[in-house]
Amino acid sequence: MNLEFAWPWLFAALPLPLLALLLPRAANTTPAALRFPFYRALQGNLQGHTRPRSRLRLVLATLTWLLLVLAAARPQLIGETVHLPVTGRSLMLAVDLSGSMQNEDMQIGRQQVDRLTAVKQVAGEFIKKRKGDRIGLILFGDQAYLQAPLTFDRKTVITLLDEAQIGLAGQKTAIGDAIGLAIKRLSKEPARNRVLILLTDGANTAGSIDPLKAADLAASEGVRIYTIGIGGGEMLVRTPFGVQRITHSDLDEDTLKAIAGKTGGRFFRARDTAQLAKIYDLLDRIEPVSKDEQTWRPVDELYAWPLGAALLLSVLIALSAAFNWRPATVAVEGSNA
């Protein structure tokens, strides 16, 4: 690690306090109140008490100024160079938060869970493996919302996905709006690297954009859309006669297949977490991977330390003046009489 200064030119301000020595001193016009024939002895006694304290304040003030200039120059601790493999892929993940995502027809291990919980589990593992990919997150219900822009910070994206709750964006499903928002966010990325993974368990029931028209726009912008239909279609329902298994699904497979077909993507059906995991593994093989590499060096800002020390010294100087550490002086005038 190396210590560097972001603004080293600010060290030129160090000699500024010396300019005070070039200024003329103000004339002391205070009239003498008393006359003492032993003025010189009294003056020496007063100076003997005040001089050490004046020197101490001068030292503290000098140190304070040096620390302030040091903080202004922004000292930084530069870490070792870190190499990041960059695949070149920009993946936008759009997750349905409509009310039907609370249906408990998925399993994690032997435990029956709702669809959103299953998506969080499997999608979280998928995001963890996306080293070098830029990941973004869109949550949609009645409307679509950008939860995380494209970023290399996979940990934050996983946290935001884990915090998502069913109904947070409304109870309906705006698939077209989600696609439109993804197109907007991917438009500045290289055309060959624009990918949207859309997870939903229903049909388009809200929003201002028709899903198929949004798919046509995505195709013209070079955005490939992989659609994933969530849900087993069977769920357990508690009735007065006990727990019964019923078949129910609002999934519009035809529309999802059309969206994927128009954009050069593919449609997948995930009836359980195992199928969902396989789909994510397949996406790694489908999407091209480049071997570009980026480097960066971690930077830790250290200016807070000298700034805090300067503040502490300033408090000490203020306290010394407030408690009047030196004896009160009396204006006198010497006389040989």
Looking at the DSSP bridge assignments, the partners of residue 97 are: none
Q: Please state which CATH class domain 83-294 belongs to.
A: alpha beta
**Is residue 227 within a helix (H) or strand (E), and if so which, with residue range?**
strand 224-230
Max CA separation in the chain (angstroms): 121
Six-digit token string for 297 = 């060096």
Q: In the chain, where are the structural domains located?
A: 30-78+298-334, 83-294
In the prediction, which pLDDT does 33 show? 55
Q: Which residue is listed with tokens 């696609």? A: 179
In the prediction, which pLDDT does 128 show? 85
Six-digit token string for 270 = 């995930």
Q: What is the pTM of this model?
A: 0.59
* 213 CB-side CA count, 13 A: 7
What number of residues does the chain have?
A: 337
Rg over alpha carbons for the chain, rounded to the nearest Å, is 36
**Residue 164 and residue 120 in contact, taking contact as beta carbons nearer than 8 Å:** yes
Six-digit token string for 172 = 């309906």
Q: Does residue 35 or residue 2 have the better pLDDT?
A: 2
Looking at the DSSP bridge assignments, the partners of residue 139 are: 95, 145
Residues 6 or more apart in contact with residue 128 via CB below 8 angstroms: 154, 158
Q: Give 203-234 pLDDT, tens digit per residue.
A: 888 888 999 999 999 999 999 999 988 875 55
Q: Which residue is listed with tokens 């999608």? A: 123
Mean pLDDT over each residue of the chain, to the nearest integer: 79
Angstrom distance (rounded) from CA 256 to CA 204? 10
**Residue 262 and residue 216 in contact, taking contact as beta carbons nearer than 8 Å:** yes
20, 50, 316 from 68: Cα distances, Å: 18, 27, 15
In the prediction, which pLDDT does 329 show? 45
Angstrom distance (rounded) from CA 335 to CA 37? 5
Lowest-confidence range among 25-29, 54-58, 269-273?
25-29
Report whether pLDDT(67) > 90: yes
Looking at the DSSP bridge assignments, the partners of residue 292 are: 86
Fill in the DSSP letter of residue 38.
T
